[in-house]
Chain A
Amino acid sequence: MSDDGAGEPVLRVEGLKAHYDSTDGFLDRLLGRSRRVKAVDGVSLELREGETLGIVGESGCGKTTLARSVLRLIEPTAGSVYHRGEDLTALSSAELRDRRRDLQYVFQDPHSSLDPRLTAGDVVGEPLDVHGLATGAEREDRVRELLETVGLSPSHANRYPHEFSGGQRQRLGIARALAVDPEVIVCDEPVSALDASVQAQVLNLLADLQAEFGLSYVFIAHDLRVIEHVSDRVAVMYLGEFVERGPTEAVFDPPYHPYTEALLSAIPEPDPLWEGDGIRLDGTVPSPIDPPSGCRFHTRCPRVIPDADYDLRPETWRTVMDLTLRAAEADDAASLTAARPDPTEAPRETFDGLVREEFDLPDTLPDAAAEEALGEAIDALHDEGIGAAAALLDSAFTSPCERHRPPEYELGGDHGIACLRYDDGFDEEAGTFADGSV
């Protein structure tokens, strides 16, 4: 599905950013204390004709915002969206309304996306009215035809949305999108609100429609199995950015981005003899208001690159990183130790044990330098409080992932991964790039 010779993709997104202002209250605005939620932060993608581009990621990583800002349902903060060579972000609202005949959207929730006051026929016929595509008997015919196309009975045209099941409502939503005969449909988790068996029906319907009308889909989901089933190409999204993308097989097979790997390992496997190790990601997605520096995934990455100064195993390094990160955010020493009302009362030795217990750190780190730095930090935590300890930890333990924002590394075959581990020039042992920079 890669090169069909058409050259220009149907939809091309360049450096799209969508930031929200989450400043609350008049006073904050007056004092200029603005807080920007970077829901989508520099995303580029191409959608080719007749292809399905899957976008996958955890809740809260900006998938829906991306989908909506591509169609300018949310005004993008920066970046461009080209459809047939024309920049959507530069169109006037009247031109954009016209353009919506080519670009459509299917919503996640089939319950709230249908006006309860309109009959099925009105829901499907509304796009026809809005664009003046058909009137009178012609409109009637077209509505019936659309209902049939999505597998609903034309006799249901007079029923209200609440008289349909979830799957049928989603079909209605699809029929509404089809009414204007679009080129591109952005599907925002179209099946995640449906039962498994109905999911399959709707996915098959979408596939049939794609074959019949030559549609291109941007398909958003958090379910990797669904994505694998429908997509020609996949993009994995984390905190408003793409971390990996490429043809479906390439993304679903090694080499992986560590985040993709974790997502893939979370797919349930029905085989009772399956022994793959599930990778657990701790914590939630960090706040997009103030995303982590460097690689945004470094706060949770199981494969975060260790500091070249120390010789530690990846798991141990991960726990040291967890300690460092938690110390930077915590308010007092109590939140860094295993349950104890005021742990600083405890003698130094016990306190040390409590901290290590909380983070599953070994009694002594295998690397002497690392152990010394950790010891110092625990001393500081015990005697001087959280601030001093956080500063010590931060200066002692820094992963290259924290410092460098990885660009996307081409792995061939249109497959790109944004992870420092895939930088050929980066020497993990020395912690330096090919040009000698740190």
Chain B
Amino acid sequence: MTEDGERGTDSEELRTRRRTDERGRIRVTGFDADRVRDRDPLSAWSERDGADGGTDGTNGGADDRWRRGLRRFRRNRSAMAALAVVAAMALVSLLARPVEVAGVVVQPFALAPYDPTTILYLSVDPSVSPYDPPSPRFPMGVDGAGRDLFSRVLVGGRYSISIGFVVVGLTASFGLVYGAISGYYGGVVDEVMMRVVDVVFAFPGLVLALAVVATLGGGYWQLVAAFSLFGWAGYARLVRGEVLSIAEREYVLAAKVIGARDRTVIRRHVAPNALSPLVVLASLDVGSVVIGVAALGFLGLGMDPSTAEWGTMLDATRETLIQGPGGEIPWWATVYPGGAIFVFVLAMNVIGDGVNDALDARETGVGRGGRGGREDRGDGRERGDDR
């Protein structure tokens, strides 16, 4: 850098100035804050900019993620079809027989032609015999006790479907709270709470449920208890992993700065942000609970043997799988209830996969196969958003 010479266009001042080791000789103008504020006023900001910022993945807001997920789910045709199937099955089972609450009919429709417990040859038509094949009058045939299978399959959905959602609702909420507390407090609390989860995991789930039902006896709420007792552990572990990373975020610290109590921080900031992997796992879990209930029913440990529950219905006709009366196999007695279970669980799994894709597995921490969250609780920490 020469002091004078080639650059004849330099200002007089620059050419005459001496080299210096004193700072601050040059005052650059045009960068004072007032002018900058004038040039880029706040009103120049438009919603467009904000939306762009949200979709580039570096700082996508949670709200945006849910909305985007919904959009993606709607585009997923198989998931939408499965959703329609589940909705239809739920609706049909609800409308199958009238529902009375405290003597008042709240649901007057009756799609099922007969009461599911009515023994046809006793009260309706003496000519009906057990294991009558499907006919226009009894579209799914008659079961071994002479009851209309069509009516039983329709009404049976009430138990099977509702138990899946009730169990998942209970376990997921408990797991969310449990995991959030464990992950948020960390240290000894975390250590103790996670060892409890390990104990629960040490029991094979179905065997534990079996033991519970064997002790408490069969019945709807007993089944709910049996499945809830071990079901929450997976959610707890998943949420805890997620919360470990959320608790490190500065907005959690910021909430403490303003003087929020721990439970406010967990309720308002920690738990809601851990929700999306939970939703994925829950949607995949409904199906497995229904299968589990059906399995217990098939083992004769679910509901009362005469109840119209899909698994129990299979159990009641178990012997016909080998050979029915007269050397003929009454396939309708097993195919229809079994098919109902199959269709429902398949639909639920497709929905679960759809939710997983919609909420982006990489972001939510639940890997493929739905159980990723259980086996691999660390996944949640790999998410790279918000940084």
Which A residues have a C-beta under 8 Å from some C-beta of B? 68, 71, 73, 96-98, 100-101, 104-105, 107, 109, 111-118, 126-127, 130-131, 151-153, 159-165, 168, 173, 176-177, 179-180, 196-197, 200-201, 203-204, 267, 269-277
Assess A165 versus B49: contact at CB under 8 Å? Given A73-B253, A100-B259, A114-B254: yes
Q: A116-B60, A151-B42 are in contact. List 5 more A-B contacts (CB 8 A).
A: A100-B259, A117-B269, A163-B50, A165-B49, A196-B31
Q: List the A residue with the shortest CB-CB distance to B249.
A: A112
Q: List the B residue with the shortest CB-CB distance to A165.
A: B45
23 A-B pairs (CB sep. < 8 Å): A73-B253, A100-B259, A111-B387, A113-B253, A115-B273, A116-B63, A117-B62, A117-B273, A118-B268, A126-B268, A127-B258, A130-B259, A131-B259, A161-B61, A162-B60, A165-B45, A177-B257, A197-B33, A267-B23, A269-B23, A271-B25, A273-B17, A277-B21
Which B residues have a C-beta under 8 Å from some C-beta of A? 1, 3, 14, 17-26, 28, 31-33, 36-37, 40, 42-43, 45, 47, 49-51, 53-54, 59-64, 249-251, 253-261, 264, 268-269, 272-273, 386-387
Q: Is the CB of B269 within 8 A of A130?
A: no
Q: List the A residue with the shortest CB-CB distance to B37.
A: A201
A130 to B36, CA, bound (A): 36
Assess A200 versus B258: contact at CB under 8 Å? Given A109-B250, A271-B20, A273-B18: no
Q: Give the residue among B19, B51, B61, B268 with the most A Cβ atoms within 10 A.
A: B61
Q: Is the CB of A274 within 8 A of B23?
A: yes
Q: Is the CB of B250 within 8 A of A113?
A: yes
Q: Is the CB of B20 within 8 A of A197?
A: no
- List B contacts of A113 (CB < 8 A): 250-251, 253-254
Nearest chain B CB to A269 CB, angstrom units = 6
- List A contacts of B45 (CB < 8 A): 165, 168
Nearest chain B CB to A92 CB, angstrom units = 13
Q: Is the CB of A117 within 8 A of B26?
A: no
- List A contacts of B42 (CB < 8 A): 151-153, 168
- List B contacts of A203 (CB < 8 A): 33
A164 to B53, CA, bound (A): 8
Assess A126 versus B386: contact at CB under 8 Å? Given A200-B33, A269-B23: no
Q: Give the residue among A197, A200, A271 with the most B Cβ atoms within 10 A.
A: A271
- List A contacts of B14 (CB < 8 A): 273
Q: List the B residue with the shortest CB-CB distance to A186.
A: B257
Nearest chain B CB to A224 CB, angstrom units = 11
Assess A274 versus B25: contact at CB under 8 Å? Given A71-B257, A112-B387: yes
A386 to B154, CA, bound (A): 85
A73 to B253, CA, bound (A): 8
- Name the one of B28, B50, B250, B258 contacting A270, with C-beta atoms under 8 angstroms: B28
